[in-house]
């Protein structure tokens, strides 16, 4: 048998799936999907990042009250305020992340490796002191200096983290490279290893399965492969490959795949080609606030290849997942300079309107006018 260890599946449809450009789920839709995913048999369900918007906070709160077999996990940055959100909601599990590549340290955080280690350590220890079960994700792990990545893993393990997760944030690994990376990390740490793959080169499923072959315990998936740009490994591909090719006896109810697909298709209203690598409408579209902020500063932060090299264009979506910097960037493009307070008011309104999944320039101008902002 190629895979000997225990295998777990984490479904991120409700969290990263909602980072798909054009997608915004209602709280009720999230509850329906969570119940189906639980019946299907996933081990973890990522509930969402409460700091994103009021409706995401409300959804995490409501989902956490469901009686499910799956472990329920809130998502957030390595920030005390994000951990406090999870504590206030009362979740058992939290996944926190911090970009560890030189690119992230320089362009996203402007910190040294030592400062990054201290920020991560503070967050992990804070969460553990408060009794959370914690997964720490090294975002952009695949482009992180290997010695530093091991240092981060050992430090979070010593600080009490329950799981260490490696994110191939721009999907640039190959199955062979994934195997080398995961084998090394597994040999250096005692806590179970998780892997989060992206599909920018169409290799997400292959990379996820390869990570399991190398000893990872858990891989992230999303129904229909939703997620930023070209998305995550599709749940259906990963579990059927594990069952049929690798003969893993999961407790997954494969017969539920069509209804899960239809449910998520219906709620995401997504053209099924939108998240295809290279050619899909979303392949170079960025949505969540911190992705857009980083891409504006340095596109390679969240792009494995440049859209220009393929005669394509980059798009930056404004919706409830936007942050201050993304909105300000759009306002500057339109030609408006607003005060900090006006920016806050505009963003608050956008976050309170989850039904709007792509604010155009005209929509933003009318909103500004309705709030009495001179534009």
What residues make contact with ligand COA under the rule CB under 6 A? 16, 19, 49, 51-52, 75, 77-79, 97-98, 109, 139, 288-290, 293, 321, 323-326
Which residues, including other chains, have CB under 8 Å from residue 361's CB and lie 6 or more apart? 330, 334
Please identify, using beta-carbon distances, which residue of 233 and 354 lies nearer to Zn ion.
Answer: 233
Annotated catalytic residues are 291
Instruction: Provide, rounded to whole angstroms, the least separation between the CB of residue 324 and ligand COA.
Output: 5
Please identify, using beta-carbon distances, which residue of 51 and 223 lies nearer to ligand COA.
Answer: 51
Determine the size of the site formed for Zn ion (CB under 5 A): 1
Which letter does DSSP use for residue 214 in this model? T
Phi-psi category of 41—alpha, beta or left, where left has phi over 0 and alpha has psi -120 to 50? left
| Nearest-angstrom CA–CA distance, 123 and 78 | 5
Please identify, using beta-carbon distances, which residue of 48 and 126 lies nearer to Zn ion.
Answer: 48
Instruction: Find the part of the chain contacting Zn ion (CB under 5 A) among 9-17, 20-28, 128-136, 337-345.
Output: 9-17
Rg of the chain taking only CA atoms, in angstroms? 20
Nearest to 221 by CA among 3, 5, 13: 13
**Partner whose footprint covers residue 325, from Zn ion, ligand COA, none (CB < 5 to 8 Å by kind):** ligand COA
Residue nearest to ligand COA (CB): 323
Taking CA atoms, 128 is separated from 97, 162, 164, in Å, by 15, 9, 14
- The DSSP element (H or E) to which 221 belongs, if any, is strand 218-221
**Partner whose footprint covers residue 98, from Zn ion, ligand COA, none (CB < 5 to 8 Å by kind):** ligand COA
Please identify, using beta-carbon distances, which residue of 240 and 325 lies nearer to ligand COA.
Answer: 325
**Residue appearing with tokens 């315990």:** 217
Structure tokens at 107: 């362009």
**Partner whose footprint covers residue 168, from Zn ion, ligand COA, none (CB < 5 to 8 Å by kind):** none
Q: Binding residues for Zn ion, per CB under 5 A?
A: 16
């Amino acid at each position: 048998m190629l895979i000997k260890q225990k295998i777990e599946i984490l479904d991120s449809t409700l969290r990263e799936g909602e980072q798909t450009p054009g997608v915004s789920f209602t709280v009720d839709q999230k509850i329906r999907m969570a119940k189906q995913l639980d019946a299907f048999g996933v081990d973890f369900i990522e509930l969402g990042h409460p700091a994103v918007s009021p409706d995401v906070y409300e959804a995490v709160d409501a989902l956490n009250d469901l009686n499910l077999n799956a472990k329920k996990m809130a998502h957030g940055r390595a920030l005390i305020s994000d951990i406090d959100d999870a504590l206030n909601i009362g979740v058992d599990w939290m996944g926190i992340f911090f970009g560890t590549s030189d690119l992230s340290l320089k362009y996203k955080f402007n910190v040294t490796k030592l400062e990054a280690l201290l920020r991560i350590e503070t967050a992990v220890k804070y969460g553990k002191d408060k009794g959370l079960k914690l997964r720490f994700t090294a975002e952009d792990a695949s482009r992180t200096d290997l010695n530093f990545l091991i240092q981060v893993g050992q430090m979070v393990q010593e600080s009490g983290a329950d799981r260490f997760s490696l994110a191939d944030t721009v999907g640039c690994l190959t199955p062979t490279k994934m195997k080398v990376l995961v084998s090394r990390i597994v040999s250096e740490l005692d806590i179970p290893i998780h892997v989060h793959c992206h599909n920018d080169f169409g290799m997400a499923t292959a990379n996820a399965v390869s990570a399991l072959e190398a000893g990872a315990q858990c891989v992230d998936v999303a129904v229909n492969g939703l997620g930023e740009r070209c998305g995550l490994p599709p749940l259906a591909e990963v579990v059927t490959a594990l069952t049929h090719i690798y003969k893993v006896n999961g407790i997954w109810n494969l017969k539920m795949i069509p209804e899960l697909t239809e449910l998520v298709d219906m709620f995401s209203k997504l053209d099924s080609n939108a998240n295809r690598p290279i050619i899909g409408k979303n392949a170079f579209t960025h949505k969540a606030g911190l992705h857009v902020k980083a891409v504006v500063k340095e596109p390679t932060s969240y792009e494995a290849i440049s859209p220009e090299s393929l005669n394509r264009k980059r798009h930056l979506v404004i919706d409830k997942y936007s942050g201050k910097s993304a909105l300000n960037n759009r306002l500057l493009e339109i030609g408006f300079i607003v005060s900090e307070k006006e920016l806050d008011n505009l963003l608050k309104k956008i976050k309170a309107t989850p039904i709007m999944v792509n604010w155009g320039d005209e929509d933003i101008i009318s909103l500004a006018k309705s709030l009495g902002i001179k534009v």
